[in-house]
């Protein structure tokens, strides 16, 4: 069974084909092909070719896909929607189910950690998206958006791009980027996590974006006076 | 080539606040659907890009589905996908382009990233058949006010003139707000103007007789604001119908005069008027009158096709495919200011 996974909720554009043999359990899941590139301004251009390429590398065509899993953020909205619009439309055209995976869960899963930690990503405006994990595959709370100094780390290690951006507040003072890896989600981790959960009979989230903020928009004030322009 | 040999094109439009999908074969519209987020923008007095983008993502697949249902088609019947690559709002365009790439990839059909403005002209073919060559097109909407010389929809479109400041529809929105009418301003001003006297208040005609095909509506808007302010000092009730009629007369007088001049000057016998403001009753009436006097044949699509929709993108996609132009690549980029000279995005 093939699952196509991708995520565009961070500066990374990442796509993967994950697979399990027919009748295989969660432990039989592996990644057949994967690609990642980091370019925060070109999600819309990079994603579709990346999907085409990982499918080709896996020796598969669109018609072989049985499930789609997409990162639902949170993350910068414009990039985030590239992944979701692609996933929803692909699933519609192919007639296959589409699942959502929180992007931070993919970062956490790829860390392989066995103890508690925090994963954080860049929320822009000097804030981070963050959540607590008991281990790589178990999130223990809701994802939040806060200023780095307001995140109560409780002394836990913090991983992800959010920690690398704000090492003083989140990194325990470390300047070593390696301490915060993985910085970005990989579709390989996202896809394997999703396919293992599907094979274990667990429910996945719907493919709905996690924005966590309302749109910036202010209702207009009274019209500007123009009378002073009159001679 | 018989009609059934022509490709079935799925057109997708998300450049502003309308999510559109349309199924087109040649010059025939088979089915289309539009989801609008206009009500979510009303209290802000204009389109909020992030609100529009969120609405596009929610509406995209359901809108494509409804268009397919109306056309009695399945996704597997689609032979090509066309999508607005620009101009438009960056985040909004990306939703449609991402969706279009996905449909094209999944269905293994060509993708065409096309020009929103040229789509507004191409849509006329769905109503009145093949567009005579050459034609002049006047595009008037909330975002655009352009005069185009169209020699070939797929390959040869030239800009004759444009607004130097506000779009005509934008002026309608701003003036509506000044006199307490709701957003979007076009329909309520049109209605109010029918009760008013267009000669009661004479507002200025921007760039009138300046020898260009350009437009300006910013000074007109300020003139209305000044008039409203002065009237406010006397404490009298605003004569909204007369203000609306005077404002509207100024807008459509310049639009129709310059459009007809462009036809006469270029020896063109056909004028297309499209875009959201083309639904305006006074614009239609005055354009018909002046075209008749100048011996120009006027073509105005029905209002539903004049506003943003997917059918217009399908219509242009069909034209581009018929011209044998190479399909867009999967790394097609959106272009918020795609020039009208490029019906097919590079």
pLDDT in tens, B12-24: 999 999 999 999 9
What local confidence, expressed as pLDDT, does residue A228 receive?
47
DSSP code of residue B17: S
Mean pLDDT of B163-182: 95
Residues A114 and A134 both lie in one domain: yes
B3 pLDDT band, cuts 50/70/90, is low
Every domain of chain B and the residues it spans = 3-123+309-322, 135-301
For the cut 60, the answer to whether the pLDDT of residue A227 exceeds it is: no
Q: Which chain A residues are within 8 Å of B60, Cβ to Cβ?
A: 85, 88-89
Tokens of residue B97, six digits? 């382009």
Residues A16 and A83 both lie in one domain: yes
Residues A10 and A92 both lie in one domain: yes
B43 lies within 8 A of chain A by CB? yes
Chain B 153-192, residues with CB within 8 Å of chain A CB atoms: 177-178
What pTM did the predictor assign? 0.95
Chain A 87-106, residues with CB within 8 Å of chain B CB atoms: 87-90, 92-94
CB pairs under 8 A between A and B: 127
Residues A34 and A147 both lie in one domain: no
pLDDT in tens, B77-130: 999 999 999 999 999 999 999 999 999 999 999 999 999 999 999 999 999 999
**Candidates B45, B98, B204, partner chain A, best to mutate (most A CBs within 10 A):** B98
End-to-end CA separation in angstroms for chain A? 77
User: Where does B3-123+309-322 sit in CATH, by number?
Assistant: 3.30.420.40
Rounded alpha-carbon distances, angstroms, from residue B129 to A119, A175, B122: 59, 67, 10
Q: Which chain A residues are within 8 Å of B328, Cβ to Cβ?
A: none
Q: Do domains B3-123+309-322 and B135-301 have the same CATH topology?
A: yes
Structural domain of residue A115, as residue ranges?
108-180
A225 pLDDT band, cuts 50/70/90, is low
- Contact flag A92-B91 (C-beta cutoff 8 Å): no
Mean pLDDT of B191-209: 95
A135 pLDDT band, cuts 50/70/90, is very high
Q: Are strands A138-139 and A128-135 parallel, antiparallel or unpaired?
A: antiparallel
Q: Which chain A residues are within 8 Å of B96, Cβ to Cβ?
A: 85
- Contact flag A88-B107 (C-beta cutoff 8 Å): no
Q: Which of A89, A215, A224 sits opposite B103 (nearest CB)?
A: A89
- Contact flag A93-B44 (C-beta cutoff 8 Å): no
Q: Which chain A residues are within 8 Å of B234, Cβ to Cβ?
A: none
Q: Cβ distance A160 to A107 under 8 Å? A: yes
Tokens of residue A23, six digits? 């009748």
A225 lies within 8 A of chain B by CB? yes
A231 lies within 8 A of chain B by CB? no
Q: How far is A5 from chain B (nearest CA, A)?
A: 14
For the cut 80, the answer to whether the pLDDT of residue A223 exceeds it is: no
Nearest Cα to Cα of residue A221 among B44, B226, B115: B44
Chain A 184-203, residues with CB within 8 Å of chain B CB atoms: none
Tokens of residue B248, six digits? 């509207």
Residues A136 and A172 both lie in one domain: yes
Residues A120 and A89 both lie in one domain: no
Q: Is A61 exposed, middle or buried (0-12, 13-18, 19+ CB in 10 A)?
A: middle
- Contact flag B101-A48 (C-beta cutoff 8 Å): yes
Q: How far is B104 from chain A (nearest CA, A)?
A: 9
Rounded alpha-carbon distances, angstroms, from residue B292 to B258, B277, B282: 15, 21, 15
B334 lies within 8 A of chain A by CB? yes
Separation CA A160–CA A165 (nearest Å)? 9
**Candidates A81, A208, A211, partner chain B, best to mutate (most B CBs within 10 A):** A81
pLDDT in tens, A5-48: 999 999 999 999 999 999 999 999 999 999 999 998 999 999 99
pLDDT in tens, B232-275: 888 778 999 999 999 999 999 999 999 999 999 999 999 999 99
Separation CA B86–CA B332 (nearest Å)? 11
- Contact flag A216-B50 (C-beta cutoff 8 Å): yes
Q: Which chain A residues are within 8 Å of B67, Cβ to Cβ?
A: none
Residues A64 and A12 both lie in one domain: yes
Residues A6 and A90 both lie in one domain: yes
* CATH code (residue A153): 3.30.420
Q: How far is A146 from chain B (nearest CA, A)?
A: 21
Q: Which chain A residues are within 8 Å of B99, Cβ to Cβ?
A: 85-86, 88-89
Q: Which chain A residues are within 8 Å of B177, Cβ to Cβ?
A: 220, 223
Residues A168 and A188 both lie in one domain: no
Residues A90 and A190 both lie in one domain: yes
pLDDT in tens, B265-301: 999 999 999 999 999 999 999 999 999 999 999 999 9
| Complex prediction ipTM | 0.94
Q: Which of A48, A77, A225 sits opposite B330 (nearest CB)?
A: A48
B76 to chain A: nearest residue by CA? A93
**Rounded to 5°, angle at Cα A75 from A129 and A1:** 110
* Structural domain B135-301, CATH architecture: 2-Layer Sandwich (3.30)
* CATH code (residue A22): 3.30.420.40
- Contact flag A85-B48 (C-beta cutoff 8 Å): no
Residues 6+ apart with CB under 8 A from A201: none
In chain B, which residue ranges form alpha helices assigned H by DSSP? 38-41, 49-71, 90-107, 116-122, 124-128, 168-178, 186-194, 218-234, 240-265, 281-294, 303-306, 310-322
Residues A127 and A81 both lie in one domain: no
Q: How far is B44 from chain A (nearest CA, A)?
A: 5
For the cut 90, the answer to whether the pLDDT of residue A133 exceeds it is: yes
Residues A14 and A99 both lie in one domain: yes
Domain count, chain A: 2
Q: Which of B51, B103, B105 sits opposite A215 (nearest CB)?
A: B51
């Amino acid at each position: 069974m093939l699952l196509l996974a991708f995520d565009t909720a961070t500066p990374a554009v990442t796509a993967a084909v994950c697979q399990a043999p027919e009748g295989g359990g969660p432990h039989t899941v592996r990644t057949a092909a994967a690609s990642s590139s980091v370019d925060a301004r070109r999600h819309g251009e990079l994603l579709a070719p990346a999907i085409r390429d990982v499918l080709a590398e896996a020796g598969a065509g669109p018609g072989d896909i049985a499930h789609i899993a997409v990162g639902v953020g949170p993350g910068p909205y414009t990039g985030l929607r590239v992944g979701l619009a692609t996933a929803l439309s692909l699933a519609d055209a192919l007639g296959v189910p589409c699942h959502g995976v929180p992007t931070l869960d993919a970062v956490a899963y790829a860390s392989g950690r066995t103890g508690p930690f925090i994963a954080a990503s860049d929320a822009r405006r000097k804030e981070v998206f963050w959540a607590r994990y008991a281990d790589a595959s178990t999130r223990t709370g809701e994802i939040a958006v806060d200023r780095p100094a307001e995140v109560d780390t409780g002394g836990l290690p913090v991983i992800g791009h959010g920690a690398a951006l704000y090492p003083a507040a989140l990194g325990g003072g470390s300047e070593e980027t390696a301490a915060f890896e993985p910085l970005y989600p990989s579709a390989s981790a996202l896809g394997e996590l999703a396919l293992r959960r599907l094979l274990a009979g667990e429910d996945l989230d719907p493919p709905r974006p996690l924005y966590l903020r309302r749109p910036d928009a202010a209702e207009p004030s009274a019209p500007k006076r123009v009378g002073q322009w009159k001679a | 080539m018989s009609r059934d040999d022509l490709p079935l094109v799925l057109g997708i439009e998300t450049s502003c606040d309308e999510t559109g999908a349309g199924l087109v074969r040649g010059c025939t519209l088979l089915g289309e659907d539009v989801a609008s987020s206009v009500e979510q923008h009303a209290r802000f007095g204009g389109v909020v890009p992030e609100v529009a983008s969120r609405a596009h993502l929610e509406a995209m697949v359901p809108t494509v589905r409804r268009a397919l249902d109306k056309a009695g088609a399945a996704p597997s019947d689609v032979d090509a996908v066309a999508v607005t690559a620009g101009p438009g709002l960056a985040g909004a365009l990306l939703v449609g382009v991402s969706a279009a790439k996905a449909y094209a990839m999944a269905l293994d059909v060509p993708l065409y990233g096309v020009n929103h403005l040229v789509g507004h002209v191409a849509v006329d073919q769905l109503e009145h058949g093949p567009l005579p060559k050459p034609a002049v097109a006047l595009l008037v909407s909330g975002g655009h006010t352009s005069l185009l010389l169209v020699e070939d929809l797929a390959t040869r479109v030239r800009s004759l003139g444009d607004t130097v400041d506000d779009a005509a529809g934008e002026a309608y929105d701003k003036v509506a707000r000044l006199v307490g009418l709701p957003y979007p301003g076009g329909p309520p001003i049109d209605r109010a103007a029918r009760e008013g006297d267009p000669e009661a208040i004479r507002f200025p005609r921007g760039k009138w007789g300046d020898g260009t095909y350009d437009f300006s509506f910013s000074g007109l808007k300020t003139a209305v604001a000044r008039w409203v302010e002065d009237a406010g000092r006397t404490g009298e009730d605003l004569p909204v119908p007369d203000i609306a009629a005077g404002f509207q007369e100024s807008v459509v007088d310049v639009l129709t005069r310059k459009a007809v001049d462009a036809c006469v000057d270029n020896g063109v016998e056909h004028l297309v008027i499209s875009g959201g403001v083309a639904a305006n009753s006074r614009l239609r009436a005055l354009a018909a009158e002046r075209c008749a006097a100048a011996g120009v044949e006027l073509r105005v699509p029905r209002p539903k096709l004049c506003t943003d929709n997917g059918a217009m993108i399908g219509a242009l996609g069909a034209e581009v495919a018929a011209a044998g132009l190479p399909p867009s690549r999967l790394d097609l980029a959106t272009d918020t200011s795609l020039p009208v000279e490029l019906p097919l995005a590079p």
